[in-house]
Amino acid sequence: MSDKWQALKTYHATAEATRILDLFAADPARAQRFSARAGEMLFDYSKTTMDDRARALLIDLARVSGVAEKRAAMFGGEKINATEGRAVLHVALRAPEGASILVDGHDVMPEVRATRARMAGFANAVREGRFVGQGGRITDVVNIGIGGSDLGPAMATLALAPYHDGPRVHYVSNVDGAHIHDTLAGLNPETTLVIVASKTFTTVETMANADTARRWMATRVKTPASQFAAVSTAGEKTAAYGIDPERVFGFEDWVGGRYSMWGPIGLALMIAIGPAQFDAFLAGGRDMDERFVNEPLEQNMSVMLALVGIWHNQICGHATRAVLPYDQRLSRLPAFLQQLEMESNGKRVAIDGSDLTTHSGPVVWGEPGTNGQHAFYQLIHQGTRVVPCEFLIAREGHEPDLGHQHLLLVANCLAQSEALMRGRSLEEARAIMAQKGATGAELECQARHRVFPGNRPSTTLVYPKLTPFTLGQIIALYEHRVFVEGVILDLNSYDQWGVELGKELALALQPVLEGRQGTDGKDGSTAALVRYLRG
């Protein structure tokens, strides 16, 4: 463990008893000084136990960890994904016009732009009725993918519902047949477009669902593949499937799945909202990229979001973080961030293969407000574990006739962060129960049930309105957080070997479950479960 890590841990031990309310009392300008801005977006981290000394130590940690140098390496096309020997260039998918980014001496930007233009041409053809199904104009699009080929675009499509003016878009990911069955049940095969999103065109779950969709379409459509498109680099396999190369959109290996919605994986989103709004989404991501590159660390929203995460997880020892968007259309954001953060930074070894000397990424979870208030906030407020909370709220909703409900939503969001910080003392609880007429042992017992420890940290991200541009900013912000945390933790955020073993064992178990192989070599539990499931 470096001296900078040890200095942080030592300082935290001396300041651990500090209460957030006391920090506000000592500094009337704390809310302004412990916040960061990105245009009209505000990130408030003042309701945490971080003080000036802690922040200075965290910024020093970021500096000595090489955040600035490795940031330049990523944007410069260097192969920072060391275990796979790849560049990490999702930022290229939203780079500004005229940008040039070299990988192995080759400028990747002309191909990025050409692919995006092909996407826009196809999306417009679908939206304008120039590409049709056997039954006429396309009314529905079914995107079949899993992981990064599903979570990002599905989240973004829901988030940008007010901008939908194209066909209805549906997402299928789970290999459980119920998912595709229920999705296709209300659709017309003759007016449905299916997009199969799999870079290798071999992903087991995706191809099983694609085959099911093709059989479904074949009941009404003479040549089902004529209503299929693919997001894949496996041209031979998509051709063998019967998909016209004009409807196949590939992307390079320097785009990781969970970072890929900015390119062809976002095709279904582009069809839903149109190329112009998709460009606005890219512009939002690009805006955050430029701020991430150019702003000093202490004013850099992406860096400060990451440093708050490091403070809470690695220094304070809080193992989870709750993402709580007070925006119904961001209801899939926590699930998207689960993959983005936990698949990226859920590692146990450093880049050089040595064991990490501190914990890696936290468990990320959450639900939209106000639903969560009636589900798990009890534990957040009064449970024995501290869960740092990350609130998100829009200043303005999309429903002007329901402004009173948006005010209620905002009030709930702000109240929760205040309550987590403020809490309720035993003395306050006793006074409440005394007013209710309780006395003696009953008063004391009832009062103790109403104590809130308080001093529970939270951050709040406020944005003007959930537009394509704003969503782009938010997603890029969290992508850069993952990068900064990964650099500080000295791990590779861009591989995911942890998903491989289960895939391998699942393939091996399929013939066992089919009865073609025995259970020899399987552990007692797995063998018993196989026998039970086979009946």
pLDDT, tens only, 191-241: 999 999 999 999 999 999 999 999 999 999 999 999 999 999 999 999 999
Confidence band (pLDDT; 50, 70, 90) for 501?
A: confident
Q: Which residues pair with 142 in a beta bridge?
A: 170, 194
Q: Which residues touch 530 (CB under 8 Å, ≥6 apart)?
A: 509, 512, 513, 519, 522
Which residues sit opposite 98 in a β-bridge?
none
Q: Tell me, what's the pLDDT at 504? A: 87
Give the distance from CA 208 to its chain's centroid.
25
Question: CA 222 to CA 248: how far, in whole Å?
Answer: 21
Mean pLDDT of 355-384: 96
Q: The dihedral of CA 144, 146, 149, 152: what is its sign?
A: positive
Contact yes or no for 73/490 (Cβ under 8 A): no
pLDDT of residue 461: 98
Question: What does DSSP assign to residue 226?
Answer: G
Phi/psi at 229 (5° precision): -125, 165
For 102-151, the DSSP string reads: EETTEE-HHHHHHHHHHHHHHHHHHHTTSSEETTEE--EEEEE--GGGTH
Cβ neighbours for 307, distance < 8 A, ≥ 6 positions apart: 55, 58, 59, 61, 62, 484
Rounded to whole angstroms, the Cα distance separating 25 from 421 reads: 13
Domains (range + CATH), the chain = 3-77+281-393+457-495 (3.40.50.10490), 108-273 (3.40.50.10490), 499-534 (1.10.1390)
pLDDT tops 80 at residue 253: yes
The pLDDT of residue 16: 86
Do 80 and 103 touch, CB atoms closer than 8 A? no
Taking all residues of the chain, what is their mean pLDDT, rounded to a whole number? 96
pLDDT band at 309 (very low <50, low <70, confident <90, very high): very high
Residue 472 has pLDDT above 90, yes or no: yes
Region 453-479: what's the mean pLDDT? 98
Q: How confident is the model at residue 1 (pLDDT cuts 50, 70, 90)?
A: low
In whole angstroms, give the CA distance from residue 389 to residue 366: 9
Q: Average pLDDT of 172-179?
A: 98
Confidence at residue 488, expressed as pLDDT on a 0 to 100 scale = 97
**pLDDT the model gives residue 4:** 85
Residue among 16, 106, 374, 442 flagged as catalytic: 374
Q: In which band, very low, low, confident or very high, does the pLDDT at 500 lie, cut at 50, 70 and 90? A: confident
In the predicted model, what is the mean pLDDT of residues 283-311? 98
Beta strands 35-38 and 41-44 are: antiparallel
Give percent of the chain with pLDDT exceeding 90.
Answer: 96
What mean pLDDT is predicted for residues 310-326?
Answer: 98
- Local structure of 355: helix, strand or coil: strand
Q: What is the pLDDT of residues 124-145, one digit of tens each?
A: 999 999 999 999 999 999 999 9
For the stretch 421-433, pLDDT in tens is 999 999 999 999 9
Annotated active-site residue 170? The verdict is: no
From the list 106, 181, 359, 503, the catalytic residue is: 503
Look up 343 and say whether it is catalytic. yes
Give pLDDT, residue 149: 95
Query: Per-residue pLDDT averaged across 354-358, rounded?
Result: 94
In the predicted structure, residue 533 carries a pLDDT above the cut 80: yes
Is residue 457's pLDDT more than 80? yes
- State the catalytic residue, choosing from 341, 343, 390, 485: 343
pLDDT in tens, 55-89: 999 999 999 999 999 999 999 999 999 999 999 99
Q: Does the pTM of the predicted model rise above 0.85?
A: yes
pLDDT > 70 fraction of the chain, expressed in percent and rounded: 100
The crossing angle, in degrees rounded to 10, of helices 275-294 and 67-75 is 140
503 among known catalytic residues: yes
E strand map for 25-68 = 35-38, 41-44
> How many CA atoms, within 13 angstroms, populate the side-chain half-sphere of residue 55?
18
d(CA 473, CA 391): 16
Pairing label, strands 140-144, 192-197? parallel
